[in-house]
Amino acid sequence: MRAEEIQKKKNEQYRERHELAVERLEQIGTERTVPEEYLDYFQKTAAFLLKLENVRQMIVSGQWEQLSLEEMQKINRDLYSDITGADYKKSYGNPAYAAGRFGLETGRLLSLLYAEARAGIPWSFENRIDYLTILSELFIEVYNYFENCLEEGNGPEKDRIRHIIYWYASDYCDVFLADRVLEQIDPEYTFAAELIENSDLDDDRYLYRFGESITENELGTARHLRTLPEETLQKMADVYTEGYRIGFINTGKDLSRKSVVNIRYSLGFEKVIRLAIENFRKMGLKPVIYRAASSVITKREHHRIGYCGAAANPQYDYDHRQDQALFMDKRYIERRLEVMRTVYEQNRELTAQFAGPAVMETFGEAPFSPKTVKEAPAYTPELRKLALEYDSRSGQLTNEYIKGEERSFTIVAYPVPEIGPDYPEIFNQVIRINTLDAKLYERVQQTMIDALDQGEYVHIKGAGPNRTDMKVMLHPLNDPARETKFENCVADVNIPVGEVFTSPVLEGTSGTLHVTRVYLEGLQYRDLELVFEDGRITDYRCGNFDSEEEGRRYLSDNVLKNHSSLPLGEFAIGTNTTAYVTAKKFGIEDKMPILIAEKTGPHFAVGDTCYSWSEDIRVYNPNGKEIIARDNSVSLQRKTDISKAYFHCHTDITIPYEELEEISVVTKEGKHIILIKDGKFVLPGTEVLNEPLNRMS
């Protein structure tokens, strides 16, 4: 049965419950049956849920399509206004405000409930009566409890509120989480795909049908793409889809055995995505285009994985990133894993058809450096350990059914209008960067790899204020005629061209990695420093906060991903000086995505290696040599205890050329082969990379 037919059936099953829930929400607006201090909270939340019902009815009746652009924009702003700008200070979505009104624990729980109500925004646009009913019933159950408290003359107990939320999350795992897994692998879930393929993309109104926050970035992107020639749009789509196809070829994987590709992108790029869908279909691949999760049951902290609009307020997302900490326990984790396994097992054939994600990222937004909000939920050490256990086991489970050695990916990035007044020119430059001469880079990078293959280790030394002083150990070669240590990256899965990379030997890798400013996964870091011993982080700090302890906590949460330490999973040398010069020319160094930034200097990735889950698959460079540096002593533990082999993260940190004094290869005999000196490539055969740098000078 098609997903659409299944959804219609679910909606019918929930219709009577839904009508009763809506009727109850309408009554709450005029009642005074909860303690006075909570009345405003419940009335505002009920009003918001009714607002979602009103939007849903407009969609179903066809009234939405009759609205003007201005009317759609007003509704969109209204749905997100409570958590944006100055309004966030007095929003129940703000844990600090809620805690100030209701006390720390009760405030946190009610703020979580308010955030969960906001998760219903996309469900109203998708006419998910089942989801909206479950959400409304959760709110009504909490409301009823507060009514009982007033009636009995008791104050509300936080443990009772937590109990209600816990059983909502646990009971409905097999609805929300099960559907989430299916959306990621089943092309029958076509909400976004149908909008992309059937909408009038020359009419701004189509953007508001997705139910995401729409800002000038999404509107400006869509409008800019309309100004580009059709052949330019096709070139953008071709680079994206060909990188995906070639990624399978270069890693020796059989794409013909797959039938499903996951497309992830930011709204505004539909003209390119529509062409990409057609390209993928010609390869025999149907698209799955699932939305970034909004519910506490399905989202992964503040990360937005899937298609999405604007982050209405990154601080709001950050404040709620660990809401699970308010109710999570071992039993809940086991429940989630049970649901995942059941869905995968019931859909074995479908999971085997999944080829992997094709990601189109954006960049250019103002760098976000979050504030530490002490009232925001946070994992205790015990809960952090539990969350890491879940990440590990869910990763193993996913790989059991969607095998890493059989899937691939590709990633490309483009700027958004917020990058500044030079946006059109920057956009054109990025198209150029993404389509540079791969053959030229292949040849130059092979020259560099030939030198690196002679080395026992690489020494990286920072210049000026940069305190980097790192020794990175390299794998030995048993047969230099057939083997190599570094991969020659020429724009397949990882667009644009411009790096050579390896998985270092951890033992003996040591020193300090420092960068004055870097932008990672949407967050800004200043004066970032990591200390390594035997390839593992032993100390870390950053200068984002006045308190060093706050800086350590920020890094622990967002770079170490709550692990006590991480290994150095990758060392690479970026060679894309064209991208570097573009960033310098327009003053957007801090806005470049890691995808491009990692090509503009040496970079170090902490976490898993580049070959995680597929280390046993042989990989070859264009010259036919096998890349043997796919493992390290941590990933090798998969052969005895897979839970110790992977961290489910890989964060790249780049040192820009101007912060480099020297990168040299040191041979076993003590010979130093200098690759980069004072920010310039000096190895014979690589000087062509300096041409953009020289023009900038």
CA 258/CA 284 separation, integer angstroms:
8
Question: What is the H or E stretch that residue 569 is in?
Answer: strand 568-574
**pLDDT for residue 137:** 98
Q: What percent of the chain has pLDDT over 90?
A: 85
Segment 170-194 mean pLDDT: 95
Asked if residue 486 lies in contact with residue 449, where contact means CB atoms within 8 angstroms, the answer is yes
- Examine the pLDDT at 642 and tell me if it is beyond 90: no
Contacts 24+ apart (CB under 8 A), 147-154: 147/33, 147/34, 149/34, 149/35, 150/33, 150/34, 150/35, 151/33
pLDDT over 60 (residue 633): yes
**Which pLDDT score, from 0 to 100, does residue 251 have?**
79
User: pTM of the entire structure?
Assistant: 0.89
Q: How far apart are CA 211 and CA 648, in angstroms?
A: 30
**Residues 291-317: pLDDT tens digits?**
999 999 999 888 899 999 999 999 999
| pLDDT value, residue 269 | 98
For residue 1, pLDDT over 60 is answered with no
Mean pLDDT of the chain: 94
Tokens read off for 21:
């829930």
* Domain range summary for the chain, segments of one domain joined by +: 3-171, 191-314+330-374, 436-696
Q: For residues 697 and 694, what is the distance between their CA atoms, to the nearest angstrom?
A: 5
- Rounded to a whole number of angstroms, the CA Rg of the chain reads 26
Per DSSP, the residues of 502-519 read E--EEEEEEEEEEEEEEE
| Residue 566 pLDDT exceeds 80 | yes
In this prediction, residue 643 carries a pLDDT of: 84
Token output for 61: 């009746």
Other Cβ atoms within 10 Å of 686 Cβ, number: 19
SS3 labels along 155-168: CCCHHHHHHHHHHH
Q: 173-183 and 330-346 are packed helices; what angle lies between their axes, rounded to 10 degrees? A: 50
pLDDT of 405 over the 90 cut? no
DSSP 636: G
Are the C-beta atoms of residues 75 and 212 closer than 8 Å to each other? no
Rounded (10°) angle between helices 104-118 and 158-171: 30
Mean pLDDT, to the nearest integer, of 608-625? 89
Average pLDDT on 197-201 reads: 97
What are the residues whose beta carbons fall under 8 Å from the beta carbon of 427, sequence distance 6 or more?
Answer: 224, 414, 415
Q: What is the pLDDT of residues 427-442, one digit of tens each?
A: 999 999 998 888 999 9
Residues shown for the chain:
697
Give the model's confidence band at 180: pLDDT under 50 very low, under 70 low, under 90 confident, else very high. very high
Give dist(CA 460, CA 452) in Å, integer.
13
pLDDT band, residue 519 (cuts 50/70/90): confident
- Per-residue model confidence (pLDDT) at position 491: 67
